[in-house]
Amino acid sequence: MKYLPLLLLIFQPALLFSQQRPLITERAETVKKNILLFDIGMEFLQDAVFAFSGLEGDLTRIGVVGVRFGAADNVEIQILGTIQNILSIKNRYDAPNTPNLDFSGNSTSDFGDFTMATKVLLKEEGNGWPALGTRFGFQMPNASNQNGLSNDETNFFSSFLLQKQFGRLQFFTELGLVVLGDPVSPGAQDDLFTYGFALMHPLNDQINLVVDAYGRVGAGGIGTEEQTRLRLGTQIKAAGLYWDVALFLGFRHTDPSSGLIVGVSKAFRLPFFGN
């Protein structure tokens, strides 16, 4: 019991933090220094397409996790990923990765790919100017292409962030570039432009409404297709946690057609990292 006060101090909830879920478009603001923001959720996506493996079906993503740490007043370190992806297969067709598939039955599952990123706030919002930031990182090929749910490629990205408040409405923009390893041509890459535009409007002190349009465009190939996606949802503060629920819509033939997203976030103050 002598360690109880220390544990309570370490894991005390942080009073202020910027909830990210269910948005994909990043804020320019960073998590406050010495604050750890942890979130976890699930996604249920219909008609998901894995063109490199020739698989189509309903995708369940279990344990969509995010860890964001305020390493400095304007620097945030991120680790993002999915603990388990499960695809209920509706259709199979010949594709470049078909000979490498190694599973039986009408479903396949695997660990998800994880992303490590750094976000830097370059300028705070003020005097009529928006907040400005940058974000860069890479996605690791944790999943195996033998299960059909990954390209088994390392991807790199960087983006420019803008955040502006108009009355109670907050507006977020993320524009950048992603370098995707081409799974069909060894050693080749596909460079695509990425974009995101999000709005958040508070109904009251406990509920926010959010909308996020995001995707990527460019000369993609098999497994690196263009994307056009939308999330419509809400953030709810209750029981000391920040909950989120959102609807998903995909607009390209290689996007999931629709889906449901749920999750929860909580922030912790970590005093042992110093002031």
Task: Please give the chain's pLDDT, 275 residues, in tens.
Answer: 444 444 444 444 443 446 899 999 999 999 999 999 999 999 999 999 999 999 999 999 999 999 999 999 999 999 999 999 999 999 999 999 999 999 989 999 999 999 999 999 999 999 889 999 999 999 999 998 899 999 999 999 999 999 999 999 999 999 999 999 999 998 899 999 999 999 999 999 999 999 999 999 999 899 999 999 999 999 999 998 999 999 999 999 999 999 999 999 999 998 766 55
**Can you tell me the distance from the alpha carbon of 155 to that of 80, in angstroms, rounded to the nearest whole number?**
14
Structure confidence at residue 182 (pLDDT): 94
Structure confidence at residue 274 (pLDDT): 57
**Can you tell me the distance from the alpha carbon of 14 to that of 27, in angstroms, rounded to the nearest whole number?**
18
The answer to the question of residue 144 being in a domain is yes
The answer to the question of residue 3 being in a domain is no
The answer to the question of residue 272 being in a domain is no
- Residue 255 CA to its chain's centroid (Å): 16
The answer to the question of residue 168 being in a domain is yes
What pTM, to 2 d.p., does this model score?
A: 0.90
Structure confidence at residue 186 (pLDDT): 86
- The CA-atom distances, in angstroms, between 67 and each of 11, 19, 45, 116, 189 are 15, 12, 23, 10, 28
For residue 75, what are its two tokens?
A: 């620097």
pLDDT in tens, 141-163: 999 889 999 999 999 999 999 99
The answer to whether residues 109 and 85 touch, using CB atoms and an 8 Å cutoff, is yes
Number of domains in the chain: 1
pLDDT in tens, 83-106: 999 999 999 999 999 999 999 899
The answer to the question of residue 275 being in a domain is no
Structure confidence at residue 1 (pLDDT): 47
Q: What CATH number did the domain enclosing 177 receive?
A: 2.40.128
Q: What share of the chain is helix, strand, coil (3-state, %, to 5)?
A: 5, 60, 35
**Can you tell me the distance from the alpha carbon of 135 to that of 80, in angstroms, rounded to the nearest whole number?**
14
Q: Residue holding tokens 């041509």?
A: 185
**Can you tell me the distance from the alpha carbon of 131 to that of 172, in angstroms, rounded to the nearest whole number?**
9
Domain span at residue 38 reads: 17-260
**Can you tell me the distance from the alpha carbon of 244 to that of 241, in angstroms, rounded to the nearest whole number?**
10
The answer to the question of residue 265 being in a domain is no
For residue 70, what are its two tokens?
A: 């305020």
The answer to the question of residue 8 being in a domain is no
The answer to the question of residue 122 being in a domain is yes
Q: Which residues contact 210 (CB under 8 A, 6 or more apart)?
A: 22, 23, 198, 199, 200, 201, 231, 232, 233, 234, 235, 246
